[in-house]
Amino acid sequence: MSISHSTVSSDSLTSRIAKKSLLSKVCSVQDTLKFFQDGQSLGWSGFTPVGYPKEVPVALADYVERTGKKMKFDLFIGASVGAETEDRWAKLKMINRRWPYQTGKNIAHGINTGEIDMGDLHLCNFASNLLFGFFTKNKGGKLDIGIIEVTEILEDGGLVLAGSVGVAEEICQIADKLIIEVNTTIPSYKGLHDIVRDEKPPFRRPYLISRVDDRIGTIHIPVDSDKIVAIVESKKSDKGRALSDPDALSEKIADNILDFFEMEVKAGRMPRNLLPLQSGVGNIANAVVGGLAKGKFTNVDVWTEVLQDTMLDFFDSGKLNFASATSLSLSEKGVERFHSKFQEYSKKICLRPQQITNNAEMIRRLGVVGMNTPVEIDMYGHANSTLVGGTRMINGLGGSNDFLRNCYISIMHCPSSRPTKKDPTGITCVVPKVTHVDHTEHDLDVIVTEQGLADLRGLSPKKRALEIINNCAHPDYKPILKDYLHQATNYCLAKKAAHEPHLLQKVYKMVDNLDKNGTMKIDKW
């Protein structure tokens, strides 16, 4: 089939495609629909909804909605993408499998009712396992189609990505066919990325990154142009997340963390400009970075997964030296702000594949200080990041364990309690035993709530329990938790099995009470 590209290519698009022979691949979005079939495995670019394909997924959803045709796909994307794509696909029952992280009401519903087969994995391992072919063993380890959003195609056919990298490089390696969306609503991001091709063992070599601003790759993804079956222009913008302004609680947590940093610097365990910081997704993380922008530490570096809006404040304060991430997870307002000072910001930012940003090798070497928010933590220092009540999936593990497992100091921050409809402190975030473990007691160094900070380094389980209950639990729950610890210790001492005391037959009693009475407050164990 031949398409006259003159009918679908604009000047804005043509100017973004330096390899002129590729102009013959330019087509309309509708012309790409023929490549899709029920049962295919797809890989998309994108990460925490930035840099994902929008034109083709939306057109395909429109098509399925219009025709009622059954089209179900296995969807592999670095992390979450915009609701208008994956969440709408979920609503239209277009998703069979989804790895490894998602956001949206419909997709969460599909996962928790057994319609969508979701798998959850550390984001760095996800990238590798995708490349190794572990998800598509029945297809020789290949993907049928990769859809990649770019901002420019270079003379050699190399792809200059948009606002995220994620697993775009791995997808280009293993996809049989590639469809490229060239987004002309944003400038070319040429020079913003550092793309490293991941090799399979035994051919992996050291990543020679010893500073957050070291570059070891290319500014583009080198691809085999013969794989490209279609190029479309995208006029759609990312649906970036707006975060609320930091509230008093988040700011109290941030203050506790900044006080801790000061103490560590004073003790000589961190340099005066700290060590490279990782800051997770969400409001508390945003508040911590906001606190740093107003704080006393200067010449700070960031080695993280996503850059949220307050990171721009941090740059503007003059205190942030350089930031490395895999995604510009900015709100729509943040994107505008980023573009308005593009030359300035882009000199201080490097976007890398998630297998690099989240790689144990660099996180350990750089001595990253990692901060993430869990669903709940327990008194011995385990954390649940994914499953409410131990069974209901929210979004996924993300990169939390990539960082916390390998950090110089790993920090979990959360409120000490959350409200229910019946009780403003109906849920304690500090429990005897988390209902699901994503991070073990061996991985976490510091727990922070608005109540205070527990430094677990060098403490045995029973001492950790006291430190966490005393410093981090909400006052409403301290007596309940202390009573549990006391009873469990006596019970296990009698059995000479009290390294980490528990009453297994009662340990989830508070969860049961929450289900039945809308609060975790119980009268007795």
**Residue list 151-190, contact with a second copy (CB under 8 A):** none
Place of tokens 């998800």: 135
**Binding test (CB under 8 A) with a second copy, winner from 3, 33, 388, 466:** 388
Rounded CA separation 168/354 (Å):
9
- Selected from 3, 437, 466, 522, the binder of a second copy by CB under 8 A is 437
> What residues does 302 pair with on adjacent strands?
277, 323
Residue 13 or 323: the one with the smaller Cβ distance to a second copy is: 323
- Contact between 219 and a second copy by CB under 8 A: the answer reads no
Q: Examine residue 365 and tell whether it contacts a second copy (CB under 8 A).
A: yes
Residue selected from 11, 67, 201, 244 as contacting a second copy according to rule CB under 8 A = 201
Distance CA 240, CA 200 (A): 33
Nearest distance from C-beta of residue 13 to a second copy, angstroms: 37
CB of 294 to a second copy, least distance (A): 24
Q: For residue 227, give both structure tokens.
A: 């794989």
Number of amino acids touching a second copy (CB under 8 A):
92
Report the C-alpha gap between 34 and 487 in whole angstroms. Answer: 65
CB of 128 to a second copy, least distance (A): 8
Which candidate in 170, 305, 450, 467 is catalytic?
A: 305
Please list the residues that pair with 323 across neighbouring strands: 302, 349
For a second copy, the closer CB: 441 or 476: 441
Map the footprint of a second copy across residues 439-498, applying CB under 8 A. Answer: 439-442, 445, 457-460, 462-463, 489, 492-493, 495-498
Listed in sequence order, the residues at least 6 apart from 14 whose beta carbon sits closer than 8 Å to its beta carbon are: 23
Alpha helices of 76-122 — where are they, by DSSP H?
A: 88-91, 105-112
- From the CB of 87, what's the least distance to a second copy, in Å? 16
Minimal distance in Å, beta carbon 330 to a second copy? Answer: 28
Residue 286: its H or E element: helix 283-294
Clarify whether 305 is annotated catalytic. yes
50 touching a second copy, by CB under 8 A: no
Residues 131-150 that bind a second copy (CB under 8 A): 132-137, 141
**Alpha-helical segments (H) within 204-297:** 248-266, 283-294
> What string marks each residue from 95 to 134 as x (binds a second copy by CB under 8 A) or -?
--x-x---------x-xxxx--xxxxxx--x--xx--xxx
Cα–Cα distances in angstroms (integers) from residue 60 to residues 4, 54, 66, 355, in the given order: 22, 10, 10, 29
Instruction: Name the strand (E) or helix (H) holding 182.
Output: strand 175-183
Of the residues 392, 418, 478, 482, which one makes contact with a second copy according to CB under 8 A: 392
End-to-end CA distance of the chain: 72
Q: How far apart are CA 315 and CA 323, in angstroms?
A: 9
* Residues marked as catalytic: 305
